[in-house]
Structure 1
Amino acid sequence: MTLTWHWPWAGLAALAVTLAIVALCMFLSARGGTQRHGLPVYGLDSDLNTEQIDESLHRFRVYNRFATTLLVLALITAMTLVARPSVVDENDERTNPRDIVLCLDVSASMLAYDHEVLSTYQQLISGFKGERIALSLFNSTSRTLFPLTDDYDLASGQLKKASEILRKVSTQDRIDKLSDRTAQDFTDLIEGTQNRTDKTSLIGDGLVSCAAMLPGFIYGKPSKPGKASIMLATDNVSGTSSYTLGSALDLTSKANISVDGLYDGPMGSENDKTTIEMRQEIEKHGGTYSSAHSGQSVDKMMRSLEKRKSEQDEHNRLSSLIDAPGWFTLIAAAFLGLWIAVAWRIQR
């Protein structure tokens, strides 16, 4: 890391003032001769002119000059701190790293794809640095599996556990072979997501619930653009929700929350009116829409979306200029410590 000076002129000014004071003191000291106003001035040289006294006086003067030199060096070194020695931090600094909420539909029609979404995100977070991630499951109602956190061990563990459970119910054949323990684990996982009868995949309500996990949303306080995002993985909407997808996206858009949609439903439903509306609404609000039937795997689509988000975030990285007074402080302290030792020796 290259050392730079944040306030170089302040340091030079302080150093100049220090040197001027030292020069003035030396000048005034040099003016004191053996005579003042024509009158004789007697000093130690004349009154204590013995061999033993002369040796002690010589030693005193050497220590005194050495102490003065150390004090001046300590002062000059301390004055360099006024210029604020700094270095550029080699680590990436991100202002307000992204908050990411994975909003996952766990209705019956989504079970064939949910485990892929969770498995992919489990791998993606291994490359996160400072991002916070949360997971919400929804059907007719929502359930928070874990809130926003940068504890990646916790998040990875929860994603892995949920992915393994959902993998075991991803096909009808696997469902038919479920053990009682696995069936109970699945029930526990989706508990709280089906509290409204005859209604499934209420996308608008699910999206608002996910957005409410992001700071400031419920207070109407917008976040910085690009700093909060939701990955909405769903298929279709059935039944009347409290919020339409359009109204939910209006709310997230006002809060500067980007929403990307991942359609994971059956291929036969891809051209349904609600699916087309989902795509149109998400793209109209600046989000990206992807379909599991576009020829790409769920894994590839999610990695592509995350890559685009990361590239956008890359532009928001800053180089951090940090103060680096360490060596100068140490040197000044060393000079000062030596001066104290020499001054103590002079006093002795």
Structure 2
Amino acid sequence: MSLVLWWVPVVVLALLVAVVISQQLRRTGRRKTGTPIANSERLTRLPEYERAVRGASKRVWFALIAAVLCLGVATIGGARWVYTNVVTPEKYNRDIVLCLDVSGSMVDYDAKVIDRYLEMLPGFDGERMSLVVWNSSAVPIFPLTDDYAFVKEQLEQMRDAMESGGYSEFVNVGTLEKPGASLVGDGLASCVMQFEGAAPSTDEEPIDDGRSRSIILATDNQVNGEQTVTLPEALQYARHNSISVYGLDANENQDAYAEEYRISLENNGGTYFALTDGTQVDTIVDTITSEQTSLIRGAPQLTITDRPEVWLWLLLGGTAIYLTMVWRSRL
């Protein structure tokens, strides 16, 4: 705790001392005035008179105390009494990319997938997240960030656009740059490249920065066209870069697409989940957050909290007491 304007109390105290000394000097030089009254002690000894004098004296003292308190509170409030604290931010070093298929066959499912993503969001704390949408080509909607308010806003905006009929304008720009549709392998490979050091153009070993890396892949696996990278190859690519892939299957029926998707994931280090099973959201979040990771400690930050409303309420209460006492004393 400290005073920002520390000199304010010093100035107020100096002025108060000057006023007291000035009043004392004025009283010393003033001659006594008044007219003596004979036998006034008969009046001053009456019980009612003594009671009235004691009451008036108490009210004067209460008014004086209230005035001093108001002056003190106003002085401290004006000097800005603030609370200081040193905070060291902590963040979990996990990176998560949300990888969403926005092909035509996913129109009826994408809003549900976004809802699943939104359900997962409260389970994370400090992780960085990114969103990539893809069809025949991929488009990053936002890069890895830990600004969850921004992440939530972007996800809700996309979901609302899908539900209101603005689907094509919102997600198809940039996702149809080559022939074909729902190219799962290419989409997953593009999501892998969102991580630092995962570019395929280098022959160097993947960067081991101690961060947990995860991709939540949502698709119905209905590939239409020739892929540059197959799904098993993309999964191996992710595995080579120490990235865990969690596959959400948007198929409502256990058909050949779902079976191929499940087998590809399980045979190449991924994990399969059915989108229709709502309980799997908690499972995915628990699985990601249970991975052993260390904390990233940021630079210490000094926080200053200014709470002037406390002093204003005290000043208001003291002023009310002072005015009440003055009014009752008829000063």
TM-score range, shorter-chain basis?
A: 0.5 to 0.7
- Rate the CA distance shift 1:243–1:94 in 2: closer, same or farther, 3 A: same
Matched with 1:306 is 285
The secondary structure found in structure 2 opposite 1:112 is coil
Matched with 2:147 is 151
Give 2:218's aligned amino acid.
A
Q: Pairwise CA RMSD of aligned residues?
A: 2.8
Pairs aligned (count): 209
CA distance in 2, matches of 1:318, 1:191: 38
CA distance in 1, matches of 2:265, 2:197: 21
1:259 aligns with 2:245: yes
1:124 aligns with 2:130: no
Per-residue deviation, 1:108: 1.7
Give 2:212's aligned amino acid.
K
- Whether the aligned pair in 2 keeps the contact of 1:93 and 1:317 (CA below 8 Å) is no
CA distance in 2, matches of 1:249, 1:283: 10
CA deviations on 1:258-287 (whole Å, 9 max, x unpaired) are 1111110242xx321x43232122112222
CA deviations on 1:122-173 (whole Å, 9 max, x unpaired) are 24323432211000001111111111111112111100100111223xxxxx
CA distance in 1, matches of 2:97, 2:295: 24
Matched with 2:158 is 162
Give 2:185's aligned amino acid.
G
CA distance in 2, matches of 1:310, 1:90: 24
Normalised to the residue count of structure 1, the TM-score between the two structures is 0.54
- Rate the CA distance shift 1:93–1:284 in 2: closer, same or farther, 3 A: farther
CA distance in 1, matches of 2:271, 2:248: 8
CA distance in 1, matches of 2:258, 2:210: 27
Matched with 2:6 is none
CA distance in 1, matches of 2:251, 2:174: 22
Runs of 4+ deviating beyond 6 Å: 89-92
Aligned pairs (5 A) from 1:217-228: 217-218=198-199, 219=202, 220-223=205-208, 227-228=212-213
Aligned pairs (5 A) from 1:84-95: none
CA distance in 1, matches of 2:206, 2:89: 27
CA deviations on 1:207-248 (whole Å, 9 max, x unpaired) are 011111111101452446771110110012222100011111
1:209 aligns with 2:190: yes
Aligned pairs (5 A) from 1:1-348: 97-168=93-164, 182-183=165-166, 186-197=168-179, 199-218=180-199, 219=202, 220-223=205-208, 227-236=212-221, 237-267=223-253, 270-272=254-256, 274-293=257-276, 296-297=277-278, 300-312=279-291, 315-317=292-294
CA deviations on 1:71-91 (whole Å, 9 max, x unpaired) are xxxxxxxxxxxxxxxxxx998
CA distance in 2, matches of 1:276, 1:284: 12
Give 1:271's aligned amino acid.
D
CA distance in 2, matches of 1:123, 1:210: 21
CA distance in 2, matches of 1:282, 1:91: 40
- Whether the aligned pair in 2 keeps the contact of 1:201 and 1:238 (CA below 8 Å) is yes
The secondary structure found in structure 1 opposite 2:281 is helix
| Identity level (%) | 34
Give 1:276's aligned amino acid.
E
Runs of 5+ in structure 1 lacking a partner? 1-88, 169-181, 324-348
Higher helix share: 1
- Rate the CA distance shift 1:202–1:318 in 2: closer, same or farther, 3 A: closer
CA distance in 1, matches of 2:214, 2:275: 20
Runs of 5+ in structure 2 lacking a partner? 1-85, 301-331
Give 2:261's aligned amino acid.
M
CA distance in 2, matches of 1:134, 1:310: 16
- Rate the CA distance shift 1:153–1:92 in 2: closer, same or farther, 3 A: closer
CA distance in 2, matches of 1:302, 1:260: 11
Per-residue deviation, 1:115: 1.2
Per-residue deviation, 1:94: 5.6
- Rate the CA distance shift 1:200–1:265 in 2: closer, same or farther, 3 A: farther
- Whether the aligned pair in 2 keeps the contact of 1:132 and 1:148 (CA below 8 Å) is yes
- Whether the aligned pair in 2 keeps the contact of 1:227 and 1:257 (CA below 8 Å) is yes
CA deviations on 1:51-88 (whole Å, 9 max, x unpaired) are xxxxxxxxxxxxxxxxxxxxxxxxxxxxxxxxxxxxxx
